[in-house]
Amino acid sequence: MRLRPPRPDRTAADPAAIPHAAMAGSAVAPGAPDDPHRPAHWAVPLGIRTASEWAWRGLVIGAAAVAVLDITNVLSEVVTGVVWRQILRPDGLLDQGLDAVGATGLTHEWLADPELVLYSLFFIISWKYFGFHMVIILAGLQQLPRELHEAASIDGASSWQSFRYITLPLLGPTLRVSLFLSIIGALQLFDLVWVTTKGGPIGASSTMATFLYDQFRKGLFGYASAVSIVIFGLSLVVALFYQRVALRRDLEGTGLVG
């Protein structure tokens, strides 16, 4: 019997052939779970990495959007009043913008017209406190359980039905808090109105707080004191009503109320 000479070891002469030799001598067939070239070995980590990157981008974009929208809450009432007074003054930034686009007929005396000044102030106040109430509502939305929306979606509920029968009722306590703070703030609103219009023209934008301060300036201290008591009484009534009705309803079943 003729013996064949041993085959030369190519891996010693060619180091690049070592990985191929190792795979050729491996007992694991291609496509087995331990095959490093199986798509699952790179698809799963790649998918996780992509999902995490998109989640991070969404988180960053959401945080940036909240920061931009909440910047109005950072500005003080005095700064807000001064800025909008310059924008809405005659031949101000708003009127110049309307003239630039050819809408000269839409220019008005936004803060000097008794019929428009309340609408102008309403817009300024809404712009100023939009970010504050947005943060409150977003905090309430984050507390809502997602399982309820998923169950409603499985049962065939539309987006409007999920919002009407799940989101809105569960968000009720948060909305009532926002409404309560809005009413109390409206009763005590002073600095923003005083810096912007000083209650004018001819008292068209006067609030209870600006009227109180105006009476003090005139030396009518007794009258001003009476107005302050009225403001305190109205604020107390609103607070008690919220505590007795809305807050008690929201805390039912928690053991925090008797």
Provide the token pair at 123.
């817009």
pLDDT at 212 over 60: yes
Chain segment 107-145, per-residue pLDDT in tens: 888 999 999 999 999 999 999 998 888 888 888 888 888
pLDDT given for residue 173 in this prediction: 86
CA dihedral 154, 167, 244, 188 (to 10 degrees): 180
Percent of the chain with pLDDT over 70: 69
| CB neighbourhood size of 82 (10 A) | 14
What average pLDDT does the chain have?
Answer: 77
Identify the top-confidence range among 2-6, 176-180, 248-252: 176-180
Distance of CA 54 to the CA centre of its chain: 20
- How many other β-carbons are positioned within 10 Å of the β-carbon of residue 145? 10
Rounded Cα gap, residues 132 and 126, in angstroms:
10
More confident residue, 60 or 246: 246
Domain residue spans of the chain? 66-143
More confident residue, 228 or 40: 228
Is the pLDDT confidence value at 35 over 60? no
H helices, E strands: number in the chain? 15, 0
For the chain, the distance separating the N- and C-terminal CA atoms, rounded to the nearest angstrom, is 104
Q: Residue 67 corresponds to which tokens in the numbers above?
A: 């920061």
Which residue, among 83, 54, 87, has the nearest Cα to 195 in the 3D structure?
83
Residue 174 vs residues 145, 246, 257: alpha-carbon distances, Å: 15, 11, 18
11/165: higher pLDDT: 165
Most confident of 19-28, 41-50, 133-142: 133-142
Torsion of CA 27, 33, 34, 37, to 10 degrees: 100
Under a CB-based contact definition with an 8 Å cutoff, are residues 117 and 205 in contact?
A: yes
Tokens 């990495």: give the residue.
49
pLDDT digits (tens, 9 = 90+) for 219-246: 999 999 999 999 999 999 998 988 888 7
DSSP 39: H
